[in-house]
Amino acid sequence: MAESTPAFEVVPLEKGVTLHHRRSDRFKTEYVRVFLRAPLDAYQAERQLFAAMMGRGTRARPSRRELAAHLHHLWGAGYGISVHRMQDRQVFALKASTISGRWLPGRPDNLRELLAFLGEGLDGPARDANDRLDEEVFEQERRQLLVDLAGRRNNKSRWAMIRLREELFGADHPLVRPMHGTQEEIEAATQENAIALGMDTMLHGEADVFVVGPCTTKQAEKLVRKHLGLGERKKERHRKVEMPTMRKRVRSVRETDAVEQGRLVMGFRHPNWTGKEDRTLCAIADTVLGGTFGSKLFKNVREKHSLCYEISSQFDPGHGVLFVSLGIESPNRDAAIKAVKKEVRDLCEGRLEADEVEMAKLTMLSAIEGVVDSPTGMIEFFYQRHLQKRREQSLDAIARRIARTDMGRVPDLLGDLRLDTVFFLDREDAGARRAAS
Amino acid sequence: MKWRSEVSETIGDELLISKTSSGLPVRIIRRPGMAWTSALLAVDYGSIDDQFVAPGRAKARKVPAGIAHFLEHKMFEKAEGDLSERFSAKGAQANAMTGHQMTGYVFNCTSDLEEHLETLFTITCEPYFTPELVDKEQGIIDQEIRGYDDHPGWRAWRALLEGLYHKHAARVDIAGTSKSIRKITADLLHLCHGAFYVPRNMVFTLVGDVDPEAVGDQVDELARRFYGAGRQPVAERVIVPEPETIKKARTRLEMSVSMPITYLGFKGPMGITKPKQLLDLDAAMTLFFEVLLSSAGPLHEELYAEGLITDDFNWSDTVEPGIAYAYVGGKTPDPKRLAARVEAAIADQLAKPLDPTRLEGARRRTIGDFIRSFDSSDSLTWTLAESHFQRWKLFDWPNVLADIGERRIRKLAATMLAPDRTVRVEVVPHRKGS
């Protein structure tokens, strides 16, 4: 039975600043997350560089060594800054955690120290009296960002997915552009722009602060107000990303690389998706298709046809796109496409077995019930829901919604889902191997 | 069942220890308020156990590489179908893992614990292998092997072990090779299952908000049902003597990577099996590397500033009975220069005292990591199994980290980091057409 009280107590601190607090004494660790919103524009390289510079030092601890030494002193406190694409926007995430003082000699007030440290972080990276970053350090982070950009090719499954998305929507689409920025953008980024854009988000981006720990909401509010100093800011004016129109005919792209295994990714799209469709129903349908060991793809494509080891699906309910990804041998490409298409068609036309639906719902209900064991999971889950403006505030309400969702509506919702693009990352020597076999 | 308890001085958690009438060790940590319960049935049997004398046989037998992993895959399949679906049907999550020394079957659930325990024991203790099912699995595992072969980090680690060891079975991939798994038959799977999957060679661990008495009673009944009450013989492992020297000092692989990756691997002393020695060496290596290589020290800062390392610079040590090694590395534009700098820094640090402030920071950080690990029931069940098979006490770890002296850290680290037992692996970008 999932808990019926709201998962987080929500306290508006200022205009555009909200505290989400969850009191829990069952963990050894206390967690704080600060999320700050920015538009999904073309200034990704600058924001990434700003975030990287925040990880290199603060005004009070201007070098990475000093910063790391402080985190070690706090019994291995975790600290990281990243910039993500979430629900058609960019989000800065400052993540920090520390061992609760109850378990340590002298019972130190680690949460207070951690929030004070995050307060330093929100003041932006270390700068000199002229508000300038250390040029050398900035160049080091530019170099690292270029390495990260090039390194996207190293994980072949992820690279195949990136290439599919480029083929689906176009390489310059806001949902596809590299989160690091392009090579040209990274090379052209200046520290002035990075500071201006980054500090604009720190000072004016709509902020959500999540705290999970044994303190009361009042105590958390007091600590956050005192140490984070997040002033009033404008409410975000969120713009939904425009999606390109669907293809009339399926596009198939094959590229080769020095790989041992081919990576097949398929993108299915819905022509009239608004983004306001029932997300719970979509999530259950996705779980039926590829979310468990008993899912359609796992049972039939992997176990029955032995076509692959890895197979998964991922539905993007914001844009009506279904991705299916699998690792296969080159000669199995056509058989795999056919098998996946059959499973997707069965799903979309409502050919769902009662036990498949029950299994999917139970899997999701267990995940909902058990999410309380993972503070970071809770925070991510509820922040995503907060961005989507979902109504249910308690796990029990979410669970009830899953349980009562009528899967008979699947054909109405997903019936028009069509295969749009297939991308296959093949072995360089696949042709030769086929000829020889 | 009779219980014994160990209590952590650091965090106050209690470990309950018992044994069933059929000889299966049981370890439980209660975590009141947790929604998930994690339960693991682990076998002291992994990929390195490829030569053994089976119970009742006179001669040693060598089995194909990858058979322990293959067996783990096949245990889920029974006459009535894939039993992992029984977990999914009730919303639970099941998984299994094979390592060099251990195989484990785990589930996480929020309800129906009794039913899931029954399924866990049925999966693990009741073999059902047919030639058709073995044949089908060969295709799936072959794809798994090929998938891993495209991971540069995995390939580098594999090459590192091949360089460090002459004969030790750790030099062969846990999953075997496409060729070796073709030699696996239903009969061989039965042989391995009978040889190692016996209660006294296994351990049951659980972490969650449960009644330990009730769980203990059910586990006792299940173990008796599947194995009877008597002691069962276990296979005798054949230990192949491994020289202290390394096999191959340099390995270069070409792969489709954006930038070279290099790892330095260090062959530790062979044959350490005593629990205290294992813990001391592991603690010494953890603290030595943390002081020397972490971003709280000057070496990391210098290497990063010079562009010799990137954000993925990492290190690790493995200390298990009979096998100990460590590695340092990551992406770098200049593998040779990075290796030379790290080797020189190690030699320099072994010769002079560790900075006391950084050592204190390293101790705090690693003790913090230990405390934090209690927030993950799933990973804790694996640690409990590991500590049981390696015969060390879970709650001793933070004390060892806190108490080990500076000189002893360096003395033990020197046994692991000898220059003549160092290998280097480079993964370099593949040239088209080569």
**Calculated CA dihedral for residues A320, A326, A328, A333, nearest 10 degrees:** -10
Q: How far apart are CA A179 and CA A85, in angstroms?
A: 7
CA distances from A140 to A133, A243, A299, B303 (A): 12, 36, 48, 11
Q: Is the pLDDT of residue B51 over 50?
A: yes
Q: Judged by CB atoms within 8 Å, which residues 181-210 of A form the interface with B? A: none
Q: Return the HEC string of B178-199.
A: HHHHCCCCHHHHHHHHHHHCCH
B chain contacts of residue A65, beta-carbon cutoff 8 Å? 295-298, 300-301
Share of chain B above pLDDT 90, in %: 90
Q: Return the HEC string of B9-66.
A: CCCCCEEEEEECCCCCEEEEEECCCCCCEEEEEEECCCCCCCEEECCCCCCCEECCCC
Name the average pLDDT for chain A: 94
The 10s digit of each residue's pLDDT in A90-116 is 999 999 999 999 999 899 999 999 999
Shortest Cα distance, chain B CAs vs residue A289, angstroms: 14
Look at residue B433 in the predicted model and tell me its pLDDT. Answer: 53
Contact with chain B for residue A280, Cβ under 8 A: no
Q: Tell me which of A228-242, A276-290, A330-344, B279-293 is least confident.
A: A228-242
Q: Is the pLDDT of residue A435 over 70?
A: no
CA distances from B434 to A428, B78, B254, B255, B430 (A): 11, 46, 9, 10, 7
Catalytic annotation, pick one of B6, B72, B114, B236: B72
Q: Judged by CB atoms within 8 Å, which residues 67-86 of A form the interface with B? A: 67-69, 71-77
Q: Is the pLDDT of residue A437 over 70?
A: no
CA angle B387, B391, B392 (to 5 degrees): 60
What tokens does A270 get? 């819905």
Strand intervals (E) in A293-417: 311-316, 321-328
CB contact under 8 A, B91 and A155: no
**Calculated CA dihedral for residues B382, A27, B278, B168, nearest 10 degrees:** 30
CA distances from B421 to A136, A202, A321, B327 (A): 37, 50, 53, 12
| β-pair partners for B26 | B18, B204
CB contact under 8 A, B147 and A372: no
How many C-alpha atoms does B382 have within 13 Å on its Cβ side?
A: 17
CB contact under 8 A, A65 and B295: yes
CA angle A242, A245, A250 (to 5 degrees): 140
ipTM rounded to 2 decimals: 0.91
What tokens does A227 get? 């140490």
CA distances from B185 to A161, B104, B136, B180 (A): 37, 21, 12, 11
Look at residue B139 in the predicted model and tell me its pLDDT. Answer: 87
Sign for the pseudo-dihedral over CA of B108, B113, B115, B119? positive
Look at residue A303 in the predicted model and tell me its pLDDT. Answer: 83
Q: How far apart are CA B180 and CA B178, in angstroms?
A: 6
**Model confidence at B45, in pLDDT bands (50, 70, 90)?**
very high
Q: Is the pLDDT of residue A366 over 70?
A: yes
Q: How far apart are CA A96 and CA A196, in angstroms?
A: 24
Q: How far apart are CA B434 and CA A130, in angstroms?
A: 53
Look at residue A1 in the predicted model and tell me its pLDDT. Answer: 67
Q: How far apart are CA A428 and CA A191, in angstroms?
A: 41
Q: How far apart are CA A131 and CA B309, in angstroms?
A: 28
Burial letters B23-55, b for 16+ CB under 10 A, else e:
bbbbbbbbbeebbbbbbbbbbbbbbbbbbbebe
Q: How far apart are CA A81 and CA A79, in angstroms?
A: 7
CA distances from A263 to A165, A246, B95, B195 (A): 14, 23, 24, 38
The 10s digit of each residue's pLDDT in B363-372 is 999 999 999 9
Does B6 participate in catalysis according to the annotation?
A: no
The 10s digit of each residue's pLDDT in A217-256 is 999 999 999 999 999 998 888 888 999 999 999 999 999 9
Q: Is the pLDDT of residue A196 over 50?
A: yes
The 10s digit of each residue's pLDDT in B164-176 is 999 999 999 999 9
Name the average pLDDT for chain B: 95
Q: How far apart are CA A332 and CA A378, in angstroms?
A: 40
Cβ-proximal residues to B66 (8 Å cutoff; 6+ apart), any chain = B47, B141, B172, B173, B174, B175, B176, B177, B180, B181, B184
The 10s digit of each residue's pLDDT in B101-160 is 999 999 999 999 999 999 999 999 999 999 999 998 998 899 889 889 999 999 999 999
Average pLDDT for residues B216-238, to the nearest whole number?
92
What tokens does B224 get? 């008796």
Which of B85, B109, B372 has the CB atom closest to A293's CB atom?
A: B85
Residue A131 gets which letter from DSSP?
A: S
What tokens does A183 get? 């090579």
Q: How far apart are CA A117 and CA A115, in angstroms?
A: 5
B chain contacts of residue A362, beta-carbon cutoff 8 Å? 88-91
**Calculated CA dihedral for residues A44, A49, A55, A58, nearest 10 degrees:** -120
Contact with chain B for residue A139, Cβ under 8 A: no
Please, are residues B5 and B17 in contact by the beta-carbon 8 Å criterion?
A: yes
The 10s digit of each residue's pLDDT in A296-308 is 999 999 888 888 8
Q: How far apart are CA B223 and CA A167, in angstroms?
A: 55
Which of B141, B256, B294 has the CB atom closest to A68's CB atom?
A: B294
CB contact under 8 A, B93 and A75: no
Q: How far apart are CA B22 and CA B25, in angstroms?
A: 9
Shortest Cα distance, chain B CAs vs residue A95, angstroms: 16
CA angle B115, B116, B117 (to 5 degrees): 90
